[in-house]
Amino acid sequence: YAEDGYRLWLRYDQVQDPAKLKAYRQAIQEVVVPGNSPTLSVAQQELKMGLSGLLGKPVPVSQKPSQRNTLVAGTPASSALIKDLGLGDKLKTVGDEGYLLLTANKKGKKYTVIAANTDIGVLYGSYHFLRLLQTQQDISKLSLASAPKTKHRVLNHWDNLDRTVERGYAGFSLWDWHKLPTYIDQRYIDYARANASIGINGTVLTNVNANALVLTEEYLKKVKALADAFRPYGLKVYLTARFSAPIEIGGLETADPLDPKVQAWWKKKSDEIYSYIPDFGGFLVKANSEGQPGPQNYGRSHADGANMLADAVAPHGGIVMWRAFVYSNEEPEDRAKQAYNEFKPLDGQFRDNVMVQVKNGAIDFQPREPFHPLFGAMPKTPIMMEFQITQEYLGQATNLVYLAPMWEEVLDEDTYAEGEGSTVAKVIDGTLNGHRLTGMAGVANIGTDRNWTGHQFGQANWYAFGRMAWNPYLSSEEIAEEWIKMTFSNQEELVEKLEDMMLNSHETLVNYMTPLGLHHIMGWSHHYGPGPWIKDKHRADWTSVYYHRADEKGIGFDRTKTGSNAVAQYFPPVAEKYGNVEKTPEKYLLWFHHLPWDYKVKSGRTLWDEMALRYQGGVDSVRQMQQTWNALEGKIDPERFKHVQTFLEIQEQEAEWWRDAVLLYFQTFSKRPLPEGVEKPE
Ligand code: GCU
């Protein structure tokens, strides 16, 4: 059948390398997964299906080992063999969700072992084991342990109940509310499989801007059906909680978090939710931001609001993910400073089951942002990372952009909160301040398109998010390599070329959209295509001119002492670096500084020339990607080849559009010619 990308990275086609195939066939003569819990059954099915595909012949499943070379998966409770191996101490190190992959010899037989403390650990280990074969690794002497470094690895679907998806570019919402609760689409199962395969253990089904309807009984029954379908895969369901729900669906006159009636309403509502979904994960909340209601409507703080909901779900073990994406309607203050100003003073005031969910940067999922100053600034509060997997400001579904390098860049940054080495990753995994409640959220790029993500390469971003949430220290390079091998092929030349394409793709996009620290100059409201000329909207911080501040003299947002002084929100070494134009990395130049058009950058060129050449460089790199891809014709199935090829054509047009539009517009201020090497707009 057509290769439409539906199978994602879980393709399980026969291993191509003959020597590897032979070795795998020999090592795995049967699969033994004792026990019949729903999760172990899923592990067994996945191993059977995956291995039969990869080995190119049916792999028998037995209850007890009967061959010389057996694959055994289980916990000490489910498998006598695993119990007998005495893995106690080793298993202690991998916790509730981790696993061991081992090779063991016993009584003349050889066992390949997937061992864990829990059934879900067994399932995660099974996917890892399959990945070893998909990427053609040596499995003859396994001795490997893995455990997630964050606890809550959660997709945020910005899905509305009418199935439109806010900032979704891959069709409609997967959740078919009309046919729920009775009809369980196979798509839900494949979605859960994909998530389990990369360790994602939570999903927020509804948009942060959603109304309260999903909290009514009728919808909760549908949510229950999804939760039941996802449960064997370790995937917990969460919902967004509209702050004004007590008024809208509860008949109360207020949603004041300190009002006992409101508190009682949320407690009762939570009890009701848990009666349907005993392992409900909890709430995600967007409050007092972009018109959403919240505690401030009643003169209360974000902590008051979060704590009220936290108390309602606490008896059931639920959590609250309270978003820090707030900026006020009226405030003249630099938007980049507002979340920090609101939240930092609340450090220490949140309940134990609250996480504050912070976007990677202080504006809004731009192609590149310096890390958010809240990382490291609230040591008493668990801080959850929010990345955006859907490419709202990054070309949406038609641009090939591998996002992992951007995420890696943020996670690697040093906040200096507790001295040198206080990286954002350490804030997120809880090690910096000793938090046990940890997590990472990703705004999903998934929809009803057959290939799930619109662009075939969008799948890589879903994949990379899961892998980085499991381990924020993984490199974008190793994740790309895994994904390519699983999704396309292990053929060396192909892997090398695609890896190169993917690893350069983010910088390429930054160059043709927002080089040198420019930001938020996209089209009005939809954020698609260039719009640096956007001005005169009802709020300044939704215009482009607010962000680039170009005039005859120069360009850029002065966030140093002479400007908004946003740099002061960082710890001193960082504040000093960003406050000093000489020390500011060029990639953030115009984020922090307003500079004259003839300012000399590191290359020795003027700012204007450099900017123009960056835009041209972005276009050139897209053409380079096209060449690389086109040279792979015949090595990739024709369907996916053609799909990506045509998307790259769109991307080239868009890169040119960006270059021409932005340069022509800024030229009206700079009044300088385009430097040599920059194509003249037609
Ligand atoms: C962006 C996005 C909105 C979204 C908001 C949020 O501003 O454009 O659609 O609602 O982020 O994260 O809440």
Q: Select which of 256, 369, 386, 392 is catalytic.
A: 392
Q: Are strands 143-146 and 202-204 parallel, antiparallel or unpaired?
A: unpaired
Instruction: Look at residues 146, 168, 193 and tell me which one is the last residue of a structural domain.
Output: 146
- Contact status, residue 533 vs residue 548, Cβ threshold 8 Å: no
Instruction: Look at residues 116, 146, 176 and tell me which one is the last residue of a structural domain.
Output: 146
pLDDT tens digit sequence for 70-114: 999 999 999 999 999 999 999 999 999 999 999 999 989 999 999
What does the DSSP 8-state code read for residue 600? B
Q: List the end-to-end C-alpha distance of the chain, in Å, as a whole number.
A: 43
Q: In the beta sheet, which residues pair with residue 187?
A: none
Q: Which residue has the least CA distance to atom 1 on ligand 1? A: 364
Asked if the model's pLDDT at residue 1 lies above 80, the reply is: no
Q: What is the largest CA-CA distance in the chain?
A: 83
Which residue, 361, 385, 389, is CA-closest to 461? 389
pLDDT score for 539: 86
CATH of the domain at 605: 3.90.1330.10
pLDDT band at 405 (very low <50, low <70, confident <90, very high): very high
Q: In what order do the strands lie in the sheet with 109-115?
A: 61-62, 30-32, 69-74, 109-115, 99-106, 143-146
Q: State the distance from the centre of ligand 1 to the C-alpha of 234, rounded, in angstroms.
A: 28
Same domain, 126 and 162: no
Assessment of whether the complete model's pTM goes beyond 0.80: yes
Q: Give the count of alpha carbons within 13 A of 212, CB side only.
A: 16
Asked if the model's pLDDT at residue 274 lies above 60, the reply is: yes
Mean pLDDT over 640-656 rounds to: 98
Instruction: Look at residues 113, 146, 179 and tell me which one is the last residue of a structural domain.
Output: 146
Same domain, 344 and 196: yes
User: What burial class does residue 491 get, using C-beta atoms within 10 Å of its C-beta: 0-12 exposed, 13-18 middle, 19+ buried?
Assistant: middle
Phi, psi of 71 (to 5 degrees): -100, 120
Residue 254 inside a domain? The answer is yes
Same domain, 117 and 58: yes
What is the residue range of 133's domain? 18-146
pLDDT band at 538 (very low <50, low <70, confident <90, very high): confident
Mean pLDDT over 339-345 rounds to: 97
What does the DSSP 8-state code read for residue 580? S
d(CA 255, CA 261): 9
Atom of ligand 1 nearest to the CA of 289: 13
SS (H, E, C) 49-97: HHHHHHHCCCCCEECCCCCCEEEEEECCCCCHHHHHCCCHHHHHCCCCC
Same domain, 129 and 201: no
Could you please report the per-residue DSSP string of 218-242? Answer: HHHHHHHHHHHHHGGGT-EEEEE--
Mean pLDDT over 13-27 rounds to: 97
Mean pLDDT over 146-175 rounds to: 98
pLDDT tens digit sequence for 30-82: 999 999 999 999 999 999 999 999 999 999 999 899 989 999 999 999 999 99
Chain position carrying tokens 């799930």: 452
pLDDT score for 401: 98
Q: Give the count of alpha carbons within 13 A of 431, CB side only.
A: 12
Asked if the model's pLDDT at residue 330 lies above 80, the reply is: no
Q: State the distance from the centre of ligand 1 to the C-alpha of 364, rounded, in angstroms.
A: 8
- Contact status, residue 79 vs residue 125, Cβ threshold 8 Å: no
Phi, psi of 432 (to 5 degrees): -65, -40
User: What burial class does residue 500 get, using C-beta atoms within 10 Å of its C-beta: 0-12 exposed, 13-18 middle, 19+ buried?
Assistant: middle
CATH of the domain at 66: 3.30.379.10
Atom of ligand 1 nearest to the CA of 167: 9
Atom of ligand 1 nearest to the CA of 207: 10
Which range (86-100, 322-336, 372-386) has the least confidence? 322-336
Q: Select which of 364, 408, 656, 660 is catalytic.
A: 364
Same domain, 195 and 261: yes
385, two tokens:
């990372």
Pocket lining for ligand 1, CB < 6 angstroms: 166-167, 208-209, 286, 290, 325, 364, 392
Q: State the distance from the centre of ligand 1 to the C-alpha of 589, rounded, in angstroms.
A: 25
Same domain, 139 and 189: no
pLDDT tens digit sequence for 237-269: 999 999 999 999 999 999 999 999 999 999 999
Same domain, 464 and 372: yes
CB contact burial 200-234 (16+ within 10 A = b; e otherwise): bbbbbbbbbebbbbbbeeebbebbbbbbbbbbbbb
Same domain, 178 and 111: no
pLDDT band at 480 (very low <50, low <70, confident <90, very high): very high
User: Pocket of ligand 1, candidates 325, 372, 390, 539: which has the most ligand atoms within 8 Å of its Cβ, to mutate?
Assistant: 325
Mean pLDDT over 531-535 rounds to: 97
Q: State the distance from the centre of ligand 1 to the C-alpha of 424, rounded, in angstroms.
A: 22
Q: Which residue has the least CA distance to atom 12 on ligand 1? A: 325
Residue 504 inside a domain? The answer is no
Atom of ligand 1 nearest to the CA of 208: 13
Is 290 annotated in the active site? yes
CATH of the domain at 317: 3.20.20.80
Q: Select which of 290, 352, 633, 679 is catalytic.
A: 290
Same domain, 46 and 100: yes
d(CA 157, CA 174): 10
Give the number of domains in the chain.
3
pLDDT tens digit sequence for 175-222: 999 999 999 999 999 999 999 999 999 999 999 999 999 999 999 999
User: Pocket of ligand 1, candidates 169, 208, 211, 290: which has the most ligand atoms within 8 Å of its Cβ, to mutate?
Assistant: 290
Same domain, 88 and 124: yes
d(CA 489, CA 486): 6
Containing H/E element for 145? strand 143-146
Q: State the distance from the centre of ligand 1 to the C-alpha of 445, rounded, in angstroms.
A: 14
User: Pocket of ligand 1, candidates 156, 160, 208, 522: which has the most ligand atoms within 8 Å of its Cβ, to mutate?
Assistant: 208
352, two tokens:
């134990």
ipTM score here?
0.99
Our separate counts of H helices and E strands in the chain read: 21, 16
Residue 10 inside a domain? The answer is no
d(CA 73, CA 81): 9
Q: State the distance from the centre of ligand 1 to the C-alpha of 275, rounded, in angstroms.
A: 32
d(CA 564, CA 596): 18
CB contact burial 296-309 (16+ within 10 A = b; e otherwise): bbbebbbbbbbbbb
User: Pocket of ligand 1, candidates 364, 386, 526, 527: which has the most ligand atoms within 8 Å of its Cβ, to mutate?
Assistant: 364
Is 409 annotated in the active site? no
Asked if the model's pLDDT at residue 427 lies above 90, the reply is: yes
Asked if the model's pLDDT at residue 385 lies above 70, the reply is: yes
pLDDT score for 681: 85
Residue 679 inside a domain? The answer is no
Rg of the chain in Å (alpha carbons): 26
Residue 577 inside a domain? The answer is no
d(CA 329, CA 335): 10
Q: In the beta sheet, which residues pair with residue 159?
A: 165
pLDDT score for 332: 81
Count of C-beta atoms within a 10 Å radius of residue 519: 24
Residue 273 inside a domain? The answer is yes
Same domain, 522 and 652: yes
Residue 611 inside a domain? The answer is yes
**Averaged pLDDT of the chain:** 97
Residue 32 inside a domain? The answer is yes
- Contact status, residue 544 vs residue 531, Cβ threshold 8 Å: yes
Same domain, 187 and 272: yes
Containing H/E element for 304? helix 302-313
d(CA 200, CA 444): 12
pLDDT tens digit sequence for 564-604: 999 999 999 999 999 999 999 999 999 999 999 999 999 99
